[in-house]
Amino acid sequence: MTTKHRIGTALALSAAVALCLAPLGPVVFPGAAGAASAAGQRTDCPFLLDCDWVPAAYQQNGAPADKRAYGNYDISDRPRTNEIRYIVLHDTEERFTATLGIFQNPARAASAHFVVRSRDGHTVQMVRTEDMAWHSGNSYLNAHSVGIEQEGYATAGARWFTPRMYRSTAALVRHLAAEYGIPLDRQHILGHDNVPPTATAGTKAMHWDPGPYWDWEHFMTLLGRPTVPTARSDSPLVTVSPVFRQNPQAFRDCEKNVDLPRQASSAVPLYTEPSTAAPLFADPALHPPGEAGTDCAGDWGDKVSATQQAVVAERRPGWTAIWWYGRKAWFQSPEGTRTTTPTAGTVVRPKAGRGEVQVYGVAYPEASDYPADFTEPHTGTPLPYTIKAGQSYPGGGEAPAGYYYAPTIDSSLPYDHTYFPGGTEYVTVQIGHRLGFVKADEVDVVQVG
């Protein structure tokens, strides 16, 4: 989880390991409107799920006159106002009961729609799906997603992510996806670690839960989407598919500065060359030029996850390169192992004659899409990644373009609680570990496999 808006933080990489409930960056403009949802609300859980309603706080947390200081979510009327297009999975980094308390404290400026308990999969709903929980650290994603917290700790995930928890979360995701028409793929069913920052400056503060020990292959199988070949073996589009228990990885908890036990993982390390002696890949927004990626569990730029798709850039004996943040990233794929699975689907590539395509962390309107008398337009700025000619990336799904403006708790400003649709179409792109968005008229969406 994170706050609604998080801007311009200058945290060091070590702070990037701070997870869902860790201290948060400055809240730039908390806001919302209307009346709090009533207790006793019927939940949006599937009928057979053990699920209660425990409302998150919707209260001011500063001077009474300061209508912008409030928590912990924004009232909305989704999907009528803003389409629900994504589901974001988290872990709490707190115990279950403490998590509920945090979401009931409006000073925390954080919430999620659902929280799932580790030991028995018991679920509580805290924010109506019609409303926008503040969970993803990206106000665009918050406007268009449902957030689900799993009780647990990313670096100890294997102990916390229980079979009953996986089953509850999967039942909930299947139910929500059916209700809102959300595709059951990894460009729409995201971890918090797949959510892009709204702007480059926010990259290092982005959270990376539920982390490398969440068993994505198991989870997607529970969603009815196991990884199976859907294309010929030479397909450029693949799904990364190591077997969780046969993919032990040794990472470091760089926040606590301790080595983590070598253990089953969804994460596959990425190198700059086809050699384990080569530097690990570095997300250019996380590391200065020339610095290598690290074995920190939270250094997401050098980890592709099981069930994520990728486009093969080159194959060599025992190694596969994929396009990743604008360059080739290599991982081991020994003969006879199931590291990748050929997959049919769509990829995006620059339109002919276009040098490179900018990638965004939001699909906000252009300035000209807002009314002339609107004083707080939000527009996107490019992230430091581009799609260059000759490269392609998984993606192509339509991303709703718009911005939900909700600066005060009670709609006391002009246009307060208005969804401004954008006039420019965007599509998703799996540019690296985190999702991105590109302008649809700058790319071709091509079916492959």
Residues forming contacts to Zn ion in the complex (CB under 5 A) are 1, 20, 90, 192, 207, 209
Decide whether 146 or 347 has the Cβ nearer to Zn ion: 146
Decide whether 22 or 201 has the Cβ nearer to Zn ion: 22
| In contact, 119 and 152? CB cutoff 8 Å | no
Distance CA 271, CA 352 (A): 30
Decide whether 16 or 312 has the Cβ nearer to Zn ion: 16
- Output the CA torsion sign for 214, 147, 9, 426: positive
DSSP conformation class of 6: B
Tokens of 182: 């959300």
Tokens of 147: 């957030």
- The secondary structure of 56-69 as a DSSP string is PP-EE-S-TT-TT-
Query: Amino acid letter at 132?
Result: M
Decide whether 110 or 311 has the Cβ nearer to Zn ion: 110
Decide whether 19 or 313 has the Cβ nearer to Zn ion: 19
Output Rg (C-alpha) for the chain, integer angstroms: 21
- The secondary structure of 231-298 as a DSSP string is S-TT-SEEEE---GGG-EE--EETTTTEEPPPEE-SEEE-BSSSSTTSPBP--TTTS-TTPPB--BTT
**Min separation Cβ 102 and Zn ion, Å:** 12
Distance CA 5, CA 109 (A): 9
**Min separation Cβ 78 and Zn ion, Å:** 20
**Min separation Cβ 341 and Zn ion, Å:** 28
Decide whether 132 or 321 has the Cβ nearer to Zn ion: 132
**Min separation Cβ 86 and Zn ion, Å:** 13
**Min separation Cβ 209 and Zn ion, Å:** 4
**Min separation Cβ 151 and Zn ion, Å:** 12
Decide whether 207 or 252 has the Cβ nearer to Zn ion: 207
**Min separation Cβ 166 and Zn ion, Å:** 17
